[in-house]
Structure 1
Amino acid sequence: MSETTLDRPTLVGTLPPPPAGRGRSVIPGFGLTLGLTLLWLSLVVLIPLAALFLKTAELPPERLFAILTSPRTLNALKISFGLSLAAASINLVLGAVIVWALVRYEFPGRRVLDALVDIPFALPTAVAGIALTSLYAENGWIGALLAPLGIKVAFTPLGILIALIFIGLPFVVRTVQPVLEDLDHGLEEAAATLGAGRWTTIRRVIAPAVLPAFLTGFALAFARAVGEYGSVIFIAGNLPNVSEIAPLLIVIRLEEFRYADATAIAATMLVASFLLLFVVNGLQRWSQARTGRLA
């Protein structure tokens, strides 16, 4: 054995040097997994969206402008996006109260209440619409109590709002709940030791930690509400320019074989939803970065 070989230290159990060229991937099968993921997303998401935009691009600009600026289209878009924003905002407040009660308090029936939050997930949208309509109609259990007060819920925009709140609430609760459960209680105790009051602790310690989750829940609830169809058409009344939502108008245009109108409205809803979700995601990233700097 040569002197050079004897002088070289020998390490038992060390990995062999990586081959020349591209090194081995840390995750086995990552290339195949990434390829299958991109293929599946392309088939399910990207190609249908591209087809929608290509179909819309075939319209002359004046025709597209006429479709989108018609009073019926504008009112349907206003109802869909306006009530979806209102419902997501209300769910943000109600979700915060429900999450706080489920996480921070022990009371009889807590597990039952926790399970009831998931009902809108499991309930078919048509069943939810029929149930809400039977409750809030003028001869329903709740509608009969509101009718003497001059409050009409079913077949009005108010009924649409209630339906959107119903289907969107679980998104906020289930997004924020695990974050609040994992929050270190020692931070609150440290704040109390330093003299911070209850509201100061919530504002300076708890709120920054759960704000990204709240924004995510808000975005999910809003996106769900914008595309909701089944639970809304039963309680909305579907009156043009009054209680007609944009998804229903798209279906009506398809039934009338006015495919250009349907694709134009659908593309507009898609672009508007993307813009709003982009803003919400930007706020979420800003909140996460700010929370990291404060930590």
Structure 2
Amino acid sequence: MTTVAAAARIRPKRVLPGFGLTMGVTLSYVGIIVLLPLVALVLKGAEIGPERFFAIMTAPRTLAALKLTLSAAAMATAFNAVYGLLMAWVLVRYDFPGKRILDALMDIPFALPTAVAGLALSALFAGNGWYGALLEPMGIQVIFTIWGVAFAMAFTSIPFVVRTVQPVLEDLDPQYEDAAVTLGAHPFTIFRRVVFPAILPAFMVGVTLSFARSLGEFGAVVFIAGNLPMKTEIASLLAVIRLEEYDYNGAAAIALTLLMIALVLLVASNLLQARALRYKGRGA
């Protein structure tokens, strides 16, 4: 009894301080760095009033900027969903020379300043650039179009899909795929019925984060878009323009709208993840 009681009193050594201190530091960081700016933005938007807010958001220029932003973000996310999944699959399932280099290159959009990325893309897709010189004679113009905006968004947000799917693929137990092979399933059937349901929650997270990141992209887009009002002007740039015009209400309304869209996407993603995990748990 004494030995058991003494063993129960023995606690493993902690590398970090106790729960109270660590939780307090964490919540302080979240409150000061994350929540406080968001609350300030919400309060600033609430000062506008519903009528003024509706008038700002239904202005033709604002609607055009939102339409372009959402359309280009959807195009970029669709590309990232396919390309990111394929890239994660290649990095996990195959060994080849230069694999480590390719894996490291996936993080360049995170490390590279977005303004530098925008300048590089503009130089490539300009009429005298390496890509533009080949595309424009065929009647394909990327720079100063929605395609350029979508390409810039895809460039900066592609790591979200790769880095969320990759670790799940690495941890996936191969015995389920081996069992499917012994039952005579085709490779695509194995991917569709075994692999993809297992990685679906992580895939949804990556796609949602990619879309949210594309909505807020600024630096990489402003150089390649041309920023033509009613044509290639994104919502985040319009918010900056309203600030430069000292129209704080207009800037706050646009920023608050983008914030609400991003929050709705994140909540929907979490709900879909929870549903997928529950379905997976029932099927296990």
Query: Under a length normalisation based on structure 1, what TM-score does the superposition of the two structures give?
Result: 0.90
Q: In the alignment, what sits opposite 1:241?
A: 230
Q: In the alignment, what sits opposite 1:112?
A: 101
- Give, in whole Å, the separation in 1 of the partners of 2:89 and 2:51: 52
What amino acid is aligned across from residue 217 of structure 1 in structure 2? G
Moved segments of 4+, more than 3 Å: 15-18
Q: In the alignment, what sits opposite 1:22?
A: none
Which of the residues 247, 252, 256 maps onto 2:241? 252
Shift of 1:29: 1.5
Deviation per residue, 1:145-175 (Å, 9 max, x gap): 0011111101111100110111111111111
Shift of 1:110: 2.1
Counting only pairs closer than 5 Å after superposition, residues 10-89 of structure 1 correspond to structure 2 as 10-15=1-6, 29-89=18-78
Shift of 1:121: 1.4
Deviation per residue, 1:202-259 (Å, 9 max, x gap): 1111011111111111112112111111111000100011111111001000000000
Query: Quick check: 2:216–2:258 contact (8 Å CA) kept in 1?
Result: no
Shift of 1:107: 2.3
What amino acid is aligned across from residue 120 of structure 2 in structure 1? A
Query: Quick check: 2:212–2:265 contact (8 Å CA) kept in 1?
Result: no
- Give, in whole Å, the separation in 2 of the partners of 1:81 and 1:122: 25
SS across alignment from 1:12: helix
1:206 paired with 2:171, answer no
Shift of 1:109: 2.3
- Give, in whole Å, the separation in 2 of the partners of 1:47 and 1:28: 26
- Give, in whole Å, the separation in 1 of the partners of 2:8 and 2:222: 65
Unaligned runs of 5+ residues in structure 2 are none
Which of the residues 249, 261, 284 maps onto 2:273? 284
Q: In the alignment, what sits opposite 2:118?
A: 129
Which of the residues 207, 210, 222 maps onto 2:211? 222
SS across alignment from 1:240: coil
- Give, in whole Å, the separation in 2 of the partners of 1:13 and 1:62: 70
Q: In the alignment, what sits opposite 1:150?
A: 139
- Give, in whole Å, the separation in 2 of the partners of 1:191 and 1:11: 53
Deviation per residue, 1:30-64 (Å, 9 max, x gap): 12222222222111122211111111111232211
Query: Under a length normalisation based on structure 2, what TM-score does the superposition of the two structures give?
Result: 0.93
**C-alpha root-mean-square deviation of aligned residues, in Å?**
1.8
- Give, in whole Å, the separation in 1 of the partners of 2:227 and 2:120: 17
Counting only pairs closer than 5 Å after superposition, residues 163-174 of structure 1 correspond to structure 2 as 163-174=152-163
Aligned residues: 279
Tell which structure's C-alpha radius of gyration is larger: 1
Q: In the alignment, what sits opposite 1:100?
A: 89
Are the structure 2 counterparts of residues 185 and 70 from structure 1 closer, same or farther at C-alpha, using a change threshold of 3 Å?
same
Compare 251-260 and 118-127 and name the one that shifted more. 118-127
What amino acid is aligned across from residue 211 of structure 2 in structure 1? F
Are the structure 2 counterparts of residues 71 and 32 from structure 1 closer, same or farther at C-alpha, using a change threshold of 3 Å?
same
Q: Percent of pairs identical after alignment? A: 56
Shift of 1:15: 4.3
Shift of 1:282: 1.3
Shift of 1:13: 4.5
- Give, in whole Å, the separation in 2 of the partners of 1:119 and 1:47: 30
Deviation per residue, 1:55-97 (Å, 9 max, x gap): 1111232211110100111111111122112211210101111
